[in-house]
Structure 1
Amino acid sequence: MQKFDQPTALRSVLSPKYLEFALSDQYDIGQWKECLFWLRGLNDTYRVKTSTGMYILRVYRTEVGEEEVGAELSVLSQLKAILNSSACADVGEHLNKKDNSGYTVLDAPEGKRMAVMFRYINGIENNLQDEESCYAFGQSAAELHKAMDQVVLEQPRYELNTPFLIDQPLERIVAYIGESHEAVPFLHTFTQELKKRITASSDGLEWGLCHGDMHGNNNAFQQENSFTHYDFEWAANGWRAYDLAQVKARKRQSAEQKEALWKALMAGYRSIRRFSPEDEQAVDLFIVARRFWVMGLDAAFIESDMGALDYGDDWLDSFMEEFRETGIV
């Protein structure tokens, strides 16, 4: 379980100079020439340029501890070896330090933060807006799932089940808006019905190790017909229909194209491995579950990271309208 319930201080942006001082001697990657703060997301990303090339440094938020990072790197290492001969899929590669360990524990003002260096991935960020790209991504996702069937999780890990996708987010949302808020009764009714529907349809659905955040455009780079996948922080056992639901729910495709693009993706996936009609039928249900989880993720970071200004009535009303339009209640 992610430790969102633990209070943390506001998340700092660590200085590139500090990171160079703390990390440059730990990696055998040549002389550091530049460390550029590149992206603030759930974690912080830096682009590092050295005398030997370009690298990506990820500094995780405080809620992600050594066990979680170790589990992610173990999955990546196993997948890298398994996908060595794949023509459709690859994964990002982390670098071990000189002492052969995979991560560094940094002392940030808000607490301990893990840092991992990755090889820079060359390729294009494909927005999956044509059938050819979707077919290729479907093949890549299938190759990834096929490889994940061979991965051994070396320590206990949370699962992408209804407590994770629905119960825990509901707790965070209600804690943020308050038990007395007029939206709370609807949220309780909505989530109970959503759980019932998922439980009723879950028998026979494929369960296995999932990427956990496979929305397609910013966690994979394309090189010819192959996609290199990265950002495996949420990798855990779950319904494979949930993994693919994240791709179908992407918002960078026109409404007119969505059905044709989804069919192309499914055709690509099924050219590699099975995806049953029951799994495909469940995808739309998991799109709703994913959106509710995203709402809970917002609530988890408002106090320590995002600030409340953009997460008031408009934010809440938008999600409430979206959930009412699903027809689940």
Structure 2
Amino acid sequence: MEVFPVTHSILSERALANEILPFYFTDTFIDCRLLVRGMNDSYLVRAKGVEYILRAYRHGHRTLSDIQHELDLLQHLHLRGVRVAYPVDRRDGEFVTEVLAPEGTRYVAVFTYAPGTLWPLSPDIAAVYGQAAARLHQGMELFISNHQRYSIDIRHLLDDRVPRILPLLAHRPNDQYFVSRLWRLLQKEISIMAPDLKRGLCHGDLNGGNCHMDDERRVTFFDFDCEGFGWAAYDVAVFNWSVRDMPNREFALQLWQAYIGAYQNEMPLSDADIASIPYFVAARQLWLVGLHCQHADEWTYGNLNDAYFDRRLRILYELVREENWEL
């Protein structure tokens, strides 16, 4: 009897500890616990009293080339003195292990653990984060890899995502029309601005949740799963996007101003880059909603209810009003 198709499996903690982690560690007792289930699954690993993170990449989410590019980047940054959660090599010198899961091949990698936390956010901490983000971008400027990686472009942010949203808004025709028109506006405006915008490698998810700060205020970045070649302004805009959902708008503005001010002290952005940020904030929101809609067969359609769309679309409606965009 054939195995019934599976959308996304959860790899056994015990099997990872007994069958996969011995490729990386000689410890006879390795503790492995599921930490976060998400786009990829993360496990907290303890070996010889040291903590690590094991990531089990989702089947079909990233190519092996994409993953190897990410691991190359992390090694490059680590060697340049940028604080990142870098990959741990296996005892044979390799970094990636293949696992045959019910849904197909999944790739596993192990990373060092990033100490500390970034929460709760304050303007002071946001400034430290902005400075670290700029230095991260500086560290990525000379990176070269033999492996191919996808690009963070209009297709990635919008054209592959918005068509996933529109069918789920069929019962909300006004919102469906709004999203469709905003999509076209962003396509047009970003295309017009693109020649004047700085391009380079991006982390892809600098929302404030993918780094930790230790007691000495040293920032360590992790989760480079969204990294790719794109616009620096997009990477910067992700933090602006992340604080827009805060109930205290004045405080959110203080966080943003502290972040962008510290970033620009290290790595100034052009006027064109700054002007593009609101467009990338909107693109980021559509990207996220499209991602949720794309994976509704696993994360459930029940979560994509009216309350969900009310919350997610509110930010877009507010942004259109603030910027006086004509749809």
Q: TM-score, normalised by structure 1?
A: 0.88
- 1:44-90 CA distance string (max 9 Å, x none): 111111224221111111022322211110111111112x2xxxx41
Match of 2:66 in 1: 68
Q: 2:273 — aligned with what?
A: 279
2:266 aligns to what SS in structure 1?
coil
More deviation, 187-196/109-118: 187-196
The 3 A distance-change label for structure 1 pair 125 and 212 is same
SS of match in other structure, 2:89: coil
1:112 Cα deviation after fit: 1.0
Q: Judge conservation of contact 1:24–1:32 (CA < 8 Å) in 2.
A: no
Partner of 1:221: 212
C-alpha separation between the residues in 2 aligned to 1:307 and 1:249?
A: 24
User: What's the secondary structure of 1:228's corresponding residue?
Assistant: strand
Asked if structure 2 preserves the Cα contact closer than 8 Å seen for 1:245 and 1:286, the reply is yes
Equivalent position of 1:265 in the other structure:
259
Which ranges of structure 1 fall in alignment gaps of 5 or more residues? 1-7
Deviates more, 1:67-76 or 1:289-298: 67-76
Aligned 1:81-100 pairs, distance under 5 A: 81-82=79-80, 84=81, 89-100=82-93
The residue type equivalent to 2:74 in the other structure is: L
Q: Does the 8 A contact of 2:201 with 2:229 survive in 1? A: yes
Asked if the contact 1:56/1:118 (under 8 Å) is kept, the reply is: yes
Contact 2:161 2:291 in 1 (8 A): yes
Conservation of the 8 A alpha-carbon contact between 1:65 and 1:114: no
Deviation at 1:96, TM superposition (A): 0.5
CA distance 1:271–1:29, shift in 2 (3 Å) = farther
Give deviations 1:161-180, integer Å, cap 9, x for gaps.
Answer: 11111111022224x53889
Aligned counterparts of 1:250 and 1:185: Cα–Cα separation in 2: 25
CA distance in 2, matches of 1:51, 1:117: 15
Deviations 1:216-259 (A, max 9, x none): 1x210112232111111111111111101111122475311222
The amino acid across from 1:169 in the alignment is R
Contact 2:66–2:148 under 8 Å retained in 1: no
Distance of aligned partners of 1:178 and 1:247 in 2 relative to their CA distance in 1, 3 Å threshold: closer
Amino acid at match of 1:277: D
Mark the runs of 5 or more structure 2 residues left unpaired by the alignment: none
Q: 1:197 aligns with which of 189, 193, 205?
A: 189
SS in 1 for 2:119: coil
Which residue of 2 is the match for residue 22 of structure 1? 19
CA distance in 1, matches of 2:140, 2:9: 34
Deviation of 1:271 after TM superposition, in Å, equals 2.2
User: For residues 67 and 200 of structure 1, do their structure 2 counterparts lie closer, same or farther at Cα, with a shift above 3 Å needed?
Assistant: same
Change over 3 Å in CA distance of 1:33–1:101 after alignment to 2: closer
* Equivalent of residue 31 in structure 2, options 23, 31, 34: 34
Count of aligned pairs: 313
Q: Measure the CA separation in 1 of the matches of 2:48 and 2:318.
A: 54
The residue that corresponds to 1:246 in the other structure is 238
Partner of 1:44: 41
Q: Give the alignment partner of residue 139 of structure 1, picking from 131, 151, 157.
A: 131
Which residue of 155, 161, 185 maps to 2:153? 161
The code of the aligned residue for 1:270 comes to: Q
How far apart, in 2, do the equivalents of 1:25 and 1:326 lie? Answer: 50
Range 146-155 or range 238-247, more displaced:
146-155
Task: Deviation per CA, 1:134-172: give whole Å up to 9, x if none.
Answer: 221111011000111111142332211111111110222
Q: Which moved more, 1:234-243 or 1:17-26?
A: 17-26
Identical pairs, percent? 27
Does residue 177 of structure 1 match 2:168?
A: yes
Distance 1:276 1:297 in 2: 30
Deviations 1:87-128 (A, max 9, x none): xx4111110001111011111112111111111222223343
Aligned partner (choices 98, 109, 117) of residue 110 of structure 2: 117
Moved more, 316-325 or 218-227: 316-325
Structure 2-normalised TM-score? 0.88
Deviates more, 1:159-168 or 1:118-127: 118-127
Deviation at residue 282 of structure 1 after TM alignment: 1.5
Give the whole-Å Cα distance in 1 for the aligned partners of 2:12 and 2:222: 24
Deviation larger for 179-188 or 111-120: 179-188
Equivalent residue, structure 1, for 2:286? 292
More helix by share: 2
Structure 1 moving runs of 4+ over 6 Å:
178-181
Structure 1 residues 51 and 320, CA gap change in structure 2 (3 angstroms):
closer
Aligned to 1:4: none
When residues 21 and 104 of structure 1 are mapped into structure 2, their CA distance, relative to the original with a 3 A threshold, is same
Q: Is the 8 A contact 1:220 1:229 kept in 2?
A: yes
